[in-house]
């Protein structure tokens, strides 16, 4: 897969990086690379002291910049304008990709998509349902809706309450081969979908590095071992 100007194997292992400040974030970024991550997701919203976050973007390793609001399970409590301003700055600095929530006010969402395209930065347009996994028909409708926005990748993540939810999300992945779709379920019941998605062609696999950024997220070291044993990674 392409992440900005970087080319990564499929499935690409993404280490989700959290920390209270830039020093802690950098330490965990280095750890993720050492453990075999292909890229990292910088969760800026987790930082209590945001001074120095721009230096993290300049670190020479493929990066996704995410600044998740509280309504989407993140920790950013400021205004949408403030939140998006950080993503815009990341684009200007040359980050490989930004994750932008589909729930972002449309003018701000369009601004991000436009600026990213101008700078050859990939965009991940994300939708989260923390309560349930909708029906397959509803999920297919969401794929069609998000596809119209022109993002590089679509990301649909739902909550699994039972094994059938994981099967449904994997069905969504398989039935949309022509769409650059990142999809899986959260929660303990959704762990199998994270592994299944990697087996079925999902381009990106999110993993934890010391802290889970979503329920049911699998540790980077463990996920890499699973994919190695299954012959998906070398």
The pLDDT value given to residue 234 = 74
Task: Find the length of the chain.
Answer: 234
Q: Do 68 and 93 touch, CB atoms closer than 8 A?
A: no
Q: Do 125 and 153 touch, CB atoms closer than 8 A?
A: yes
For the question of whether the overall pTM of this predicted structure is more than 0.85, the answer is yes
Statement: residue 202 has pLDDT above 80: yes
Statement: residue 87 has pLDDT above 90: yes
How far apart CA 88 and CA 123 sit, in angstroms, is 12
3-58 confidence digits (pLDDT tens): 999 999 999 999 999 999 999 999 999 999 999 999 999 999 999 999 999 999 99
Helix, strand, coil share of the chain (percent; to 5): 40, 25, 35
How far apart CA 128 and CA 91 sit, in angstroms, is 23
Beta bridge partners of 183: 156
Enumerate the domain spans of the chain.
Answer: 9-229
Structure tokens at 122: 């990939």
Local confidence band at 233 (pLDDT 50, 70, 90 cut-offs): confident
128 annotated active-site? yes
How far apart CA 158 and CA 182 sit, in angstroms, is 12
**Considering 155, 191, 229, 234, which one is annotated as catalytic?**
155
Architecture of domain 9-229: Alpha-Beta Barrel (3.20)
Apex CA 220: angle with CA 5 and CA 188, to 5°? 120
The pLDDT value given to residue 196 = 96
155 annotated active-site? yes
Question: Which residues are within 8 A (CB) of 177 and not within 5 positions of it... i.e. 6 or more apart?
Answer: 201
Residues of the chain with pLDDT > 70, as a percent, come to 100
Burial of 148 from C-beta contacts in 10 A (0-12 / 13-18 / 19+): exposed
| Between 232 and 166, the higher pLDDT residue | 166
Statement: residue 212 has pLDDT above 80: yes
The pLDDT value given to residue 197 = 97
The pLDDT value given to residue 216 = 95
**Considering 128, 132, 161, 234, which one is annotated as catalytic?**
128
How high is the mean pLDDT of the chain?
Answer: 96
């Amino acid at each position: 897969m392409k992440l900005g100007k970087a080319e990564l194997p499929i499935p690409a292992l993404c280490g989700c990086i959290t920390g209270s400040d830039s020093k802690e974030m950098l330490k965990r970024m280095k750890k993720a690379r050492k453990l075999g991550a292909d890229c990292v997701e910088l969760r800026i919203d987790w930082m209590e002291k945001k001074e120095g976050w721009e230096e993290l973007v300049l670190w020479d390793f493929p990066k996704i910049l995410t600044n998740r609001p509280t309504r989407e399970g993140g920790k950013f409590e400021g205004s949408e304008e403030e939140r998006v301003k950080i993503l815009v700055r990341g684009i200007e600095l040359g980050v490989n990709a930004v994750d932008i929530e589909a729930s972002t006010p449309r003018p701000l969402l369009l601004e991000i998509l436009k600026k990213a395209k101008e700078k050859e930065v990939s965009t991940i347009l994300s939708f989260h349902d923390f309560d349930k996994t909708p029906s397959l028909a509803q999920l297919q409708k969401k794929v069609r809706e998000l596809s119209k926005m022109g993002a590089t990748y679509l990301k649909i993540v739902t909550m699994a309450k039972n094994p059938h939810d994981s099967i449904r999300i994997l069905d969504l992945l398989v039935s949309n081969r022509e769409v650059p779709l990142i999809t899986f379920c959260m929660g303990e019941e959704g762990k199998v979908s994270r592994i299944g998605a990697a087996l079925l062609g999902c381009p990106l696999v999110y993993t934890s590095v010391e802290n889970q950024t979503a329920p049911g997220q699998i540790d980077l070291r463990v996920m890499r071992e699973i994919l190695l044993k299954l012959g998906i990674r070398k």
